[in-house]
């Protein structure tokens, strides 16, 4: 890879994994943008301690949804101001001593206004197909945000345990409860549609590739297991650490791709 995407050289690529790696590198870039990840606002099932289901937001969840839209709107404008400052200080061709020479590819990725200044980048908001996730994004203005619902972002399906509390699961299926506690990563809930963490990891591959490829800002309004998988991927954690990653309600994570890694900020809002 030359100049982070200006030129890619590949030779004798054979097999699925090698082809997928080349596809990833062809779409890899360091265009300035932000990736935001959060769980939905508190739902009625969260209050009752139930897992799965398709409940609506609680009053506290709606307060979080309003705060989320307001906070992201402020951060979007702040990012654009930082970008304008950075572009105004860049030089083409680079000057002696520049530590981060400008990349014309990035500058050309922006539409310009009448004064030749870059317009704000497009901002995508992706939710799952479940009500608590969709309702969390209700306060985003569709004129400013590209809002999309994706089934791949749905929470892990708990099969026969959907809508139950963990105490009820332990009382009804003590063997299943013990099996899950022993290996949460590989345990698959019994019943129609039941999934494991590994199943969720597999269905999120397409989402991750698309997030890596796109140059727009994106907010993913997801669920606990989905947020754990996404954060584990972007932070480079081991697969064995996914199931124990702490992702509380009311917390918003921001990842900003930089030259060597991701800048990560997590902050509770509300």
| Residues labelled catalytic | 39-40, 46, 132, 155, 223
Q: Is 190 helix (H, G, I), strand (E, B) or coil?
A: coil
Q: Spell out the residues 6+ positions from residue 120 whose beta carbon is closer than 8 angstroms to its own.
A: 76, 77, 80
Tell me how far apart the alpha carbons of residues 199 and 152 are, in angstroms, rounded to a whole number. 11
- What does the chain come to in residues? 270
SS3 for 201-224 is HHHCHHHHHHHHHCCCEEEEEECH
4: left (phi over 0), alpha (psi -120 to 50) or beta: left
CB 128 within 8 A of CB 226: yes
CB 65 within 8 A of CB 138: yes
Q: Which two tokens stand for residue 179?
A: 């099996």
Q: Which two tokens stand for residue 40?
A: 């939905």
How many CA atoms are closer than 13 Å to the CA of 92, on its beta-carbon side? 10
CB 166 within 8 A of CB 52: no
CA distances from 37 to 8, 203, 218, 219 (A): 30, 17, 8, 6
């Amino acid at each position: 890879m030359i100049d982070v995407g200006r030129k890619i050289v590949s030779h004798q690529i054979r097999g699925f994994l090698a082809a997928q790696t080349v596809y990833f590198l062809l779409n890899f870039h360091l265009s300035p943008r932000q990736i935001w990840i959060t769980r939905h606002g508190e739902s009625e099932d969260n209050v009752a301690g139930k897992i799965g289901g398709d409940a609506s937001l609680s009053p506290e969840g709606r307060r979080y949804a309003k705060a989320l839209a307001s906070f992201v709107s402020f951060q979007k404008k702040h990012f654009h101001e930082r970008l304008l400052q950075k572009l105004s200080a860049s030089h083409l061709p680079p000057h002696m001593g520049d530590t981060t020479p400008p990349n014309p590819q990035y500058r050309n990725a922006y539409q310009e206004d009448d004064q030749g200044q870059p317009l704000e980048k497009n901002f995508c908001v992706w939710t799952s197909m479940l009500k608590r996730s969709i309702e969390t994004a209700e306060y985003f203005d569709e004129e400013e945000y590209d809002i999309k619902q994706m089934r791949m972002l749905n929470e892990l399906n708990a099969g026969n345990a959907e809508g139950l509390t963990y105490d009820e699961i332990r009382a009804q299926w003590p063997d299943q409860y013990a099996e899950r506690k022993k290996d949460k990563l590989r345990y698959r809930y019994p019943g129609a549609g039941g999934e494991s963490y590994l199943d969720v990891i597999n269905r999120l591959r397409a989402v991750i590739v698309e997030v890596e490829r796109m140059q727009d800002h994106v907010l993913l309004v997801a669920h606990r297991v989905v947020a754990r998988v996404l954060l584990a991927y972007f932070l480079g954690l081991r697969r064995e650490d996914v199931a124990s990653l702490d992702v509380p309600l009311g917390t918003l994570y921001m990842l900003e791709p930089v030259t060597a890694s991701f800048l990560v900020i997590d902050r509770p809002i509300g």
